[in-house]
Structure 1
C-alpha cells in the first residue's frame, strides 16, 4: 500500500465544508464509542449499523458519504480491538481504554464519495457536505495508477493547510544487487548511531535547534486572551514549528534508512522499548528528539522493499559485553572507551555495535562467524527478534 499526499487549494467556503466533514467524522466515531460502552458485546458490524441510525437522526451526519461514516466507525472499532488485544496480551500499565476524540483532523472516503479528474490534477468530493472540486499540487504522478487501485482518499487538516492523501493498493518491490555487507547499529544520543565498522552518524537534534523560536511562540500564545483570534493565530504559528520538526525528523529517518538498507544485505539493530526509556525524565526529551522508533520502522519497510534482512536483537548488556571474548566489563555512562583484559580496546559504541551484529548473525544461523569477516549476503527479508521462533515471526 502506497500513500501519496498532495496539498490542495480551494476557496474558503470549501475549507469550511472540509472542517464540517471532519467534525461529522469525529461525532460518529465518538457516538460509536459511547454505543460500545453502553453495549460491551457489540461487534464491528453493529457499529456499521449504528452509522445508518445516526444518519437518520442527525441531518449533518446524513450529509456525509455513507462510506465515510463507515470509516469513522472503523476508527472506533480499531481503538476497541486494540484495547482488547492489549488485555489479552496482558500488557503492563495502561491498556489503552478507548476515549472520546477531541481534535480530529481528517475524514476518510473509501471507493465512493469522490471522483478523480481525467488529468489527475483535481478531485471532486461528491457528498452533500458541499466540498466540491479541490486542486492538487504535488510531485507524485497518479497517471501510473488506475482509479480502482485507489482504495482510500483522506482529507487531512494541518497547521499549514489542507492535504489530500491517496491510499493505492500496490506491492512495491525493487531489485538491487547484493553487497555482501553486514552491519550492526548501536543507537545513541551523542551520535544518532554507531555501526560495527566504526562509522558514526551525527544526531541532528531538530527539536533542540528549534527550541528558541518555539519558546518565543509559546510565550506569545500564553499572552493572548483565551478565545481571541490573536490567540488562534499564535497557536497556528506554534503548530507550524512543531510540524516542521516532525517533517525534518521523518525526512532524516527515511533518507538514512534507505541508505543503510541499500548498502548492506543484513542490518542488525537493538529492539529498544522507547516507551519505557522516555520514563527517565532526564533523557526523555533527547530520546524523543532522536526518533529511534521511526528510524526502525523505515528500516523494516525498506528491508521488505529491497529484499534485505533486518534483525532486532535484545539490547541487554550490549554496552558491557566484550565483542572479542564475550566477558562482561562493567562501565558507567561516562566511560566512553571499552577496555577488556583480553586486549580489546574500542570505542564504547563501536564495541556495542559489533556485539549487536554478532547476536544478529547467531540468530539467522551464522553461529561462530566473526563480525569483522562476515560478508555473505542474506536472502530472507524478514525482520526478526532474538529468542523467538523464526517461522512464527514470518507468519505474523
Structure 2
C-alpha cells in the first residue's frame, strides 16, 4: 500500500464543509463505540446495523457518504480488536481500552463519494456535505495509477492547512543487490546512534533547538482571551511550530533509516519500549526528542520494501557485556568508555552495538565477522551509497 499526500487548495466555505465532515465522522465513531460499551458481546454486523440507524435518525449523518460512515465503524472495530489482542497476549501495562475521541483531524472515504478529474490535479467530493471540487498541489505522479487501485481517500487537517491522502494498492517493493554487510545499531541520547563499526550519527535535538521559540508562542497563547480570534491565531502559530519540529524529526529518521537499509543486508537494533522509558521524568523530553520509535518504524518499513533483514534484539546487558570476551563489566550510565580486563577498550555505545549485532546473527542463524572478505567495513554514513568503501559518494533521496 502506497500513501500519496497532496496539499489541498480550498476556500473558506470548503473549510467549513470539511470541518463538518470531520465532526460527523467523529460523531459516528463515538456513538458506535458507546453502543458497543452498552451492549457487550455485539459483533461486527450489529455495529454496521447501528450505523444504518444513525443515518436514518440524523440528517447530518446521512449527508456524509455512507462509506465514510463505514470507515468510522471500522476504526472502532480495529480499536476493539487491538484491545482484546493485547489482553489475550498479556501485554504488560495498560491494554488500550477503546476511548471516545474529543478531537479528530481526518475523515476517510472509501471508493465512493469522490471523483478524480481526468488530469488528476483535482478531486470532487460528491456527498451532501458541500465540499465540492478541491485542487491538489503536489509532485506525486498520481496519473500513473488506475483509479480502481485507489482504495482510500482521506482528508487530513493540520496546523498549516488541509491535505488529501490517497491510499493506492500497489506493490512498491524493490530488489537490491546483496552487499555482504551487516550492522548493529545502538541508539542513544548523546549520539543518535552508534553502529557496530564505530561510526556515530550526531543527535540533532530538533525540539531542544526550537524550544525557546515554542515557549514564546506558548506565552502569546496564554495572554489572549479565551474564545477570541487572536487566541485562535496564536494557537495556530504554536501548532505550526510544533508541526515543523515533528516533520524535521520524521525526515531525519527516514533519511537515516533508508541509508542504513540500502547499505546492509542485515540491520540489528534494540527492541526498546519507549513508552516505559519516558516514565523517567529526567530523560523523557530528550527521549521523545530523539525519535527512536520513528527510526525503528522506518527501518522496518524500508527493510520490507527493499527485501532486507531487520532484527530487533533484547537490549538487556548489551552495554555491560564485553563484545570481545563476553565478560560482564558493570558500569553506570555516566561511564562512557568500556574497559575490560581482556584488553578491549571501546566507546560504551560502540561496544553495545557490537553486542546487538552478535545477538542478531545468532538469532537468524548467520555466522561471520564484522567485516567482509576484503576486510572492508560496511558504512551507514548518511548520504552514501553501497560503495562508500571505494570513496564513491552518491546522494540518497529522502523520498520513498
Structure 2 length-normalised TM = 0.92
Specify the alignment match of 2:210 in structure 1: 210
- Give yes or no for contact 1:151–1:169 (8 Å, CA) kept in 2: yes
Shift, 1:371, TM fit = 3.2
Native 8 Å contact 1:180 1:375 kept in 2: no
Contact 2:250 2:294 in 1 (8 A): yes
Partner of 1:366: 366
Q: Note the residue ranges of structure 1 that are not aligned, 5 or more in a row.
A: 377-396
Stretch moving more, 16-25 or 357-366: 357-366
Instruction: Write the distance in 2 (CA, Å) between the matches of 1:233 and 1:355.
Output: 51
Distance 1:335 1:99 in 2: 43
1:79 and 2:79 correspond: yes
In structure 2, the partner of 1:110 is: 110
Aligned pair 1:136/2:151, yes or no? no
Are the counterparts in 2 of residues 5 and 165 from structure 1 also a CA contact under 8 Å?
Answer: yes
Is the partner of 1:97 in helix, strand or coil?
coil
CA distance in 2, matches of 1:356, 1:329: 16
How much has 1:2 moved relative to structure 2? 0.4
Alignment of 1:170-249 (within 5 A): 170-249=170-249
Distance (whole Å) between structure 1 residues aligned to residue 84 and residue 340 of structure 2: 48
How many angstroms apart in 1 are the aligned matches of 2:145 and 2:323? 50
Inter-CA distance 374–18: structure 2 relative to 1 (3 Å threshold): farther
How is 1:208-357 mapped onto 2 (pairs within 5 angstroms)? 208-357=208-357
Aligned to 2:40: 40
In 2, the alpha carbon distance for the partners of 1:374 and 1:221 equals: 61
Residues matched between the structures, number: 375
Uncovered stretches (5+) of structure 2, i.e. residues with no partner: 376-400
Alpha carbons of structure 1 residues 205 and 375: separation in structure 2 relative to 1, 3 Å: farther
Q: Secondary structure at the match of 2:127?
A: coil
After superposition, the C-alpha distances for 1:288-310 in whole angstroms (9 at most, x for unaligned) are: 11111111111011111111111
Q: For residues 198 and 336 of structure 1, do their structure 2 counterparts lie closer, same or farther at Cα, with a shift above 3 Å needed?
A: same
1:210 aligned counterpart, secondary structure: helix
Measure the CA separation in 2 of the matches of 1:34 and 1:375.
64
Could you give the per-residue CA deviations for residues 209-249 of structure 1, whole angstroms, max 9, x where no partner exists? Answer: 11011001111111111111111111111111111111111
How far the C-alpha of 1:33 sits from its partner, in A, is 0.7
Shift of 1:373: 5.5
SS at match of 1:40: coil
TM-score by length of 1: 0.93
* 1:64-95: CA deviation from partner (whole Å, max 9, x where unpaired): 00000100111122212211112212222222
2:25 maps to which residue?
25
In structure 2, distance between residues paired with 1:312 and 1:170: 27
Tell me what 1:160 maps to. Answer: 160
Please say if residues 181 and 371 of structure 2, whose CA atoms lie closer than 8 Å, have aligned partners that are also in contact. Answer: no
Distance 1:94 1:364 in 2: 31
CA contact (8 A) 1:182 1:374 kept: no
8 A Cα contact 2:338 2:347, kept in partner: yes
What is the rounded CA distance, in whole Å, between the counterparts of 1:90 and 1:309 in structure 2?
A: 27
Going from structure 1 to structure 2, the CA distance change for 1:344 and 1:230 (only over 3 Å counts) comes to: same
Q: Secondary structure at the match of 1:124?
A: strand
C-alpha distance in 1, partners of 2:158/2:370? 46
CA distance in 1, matches of 2:236, 2:99: 25
Instruction: Tell me the C-alpha RMSD between the 2 structures.
Output: 1.3
**Distance 1:117-1:314 versus aligned 2 partners, 3 A rule:** same
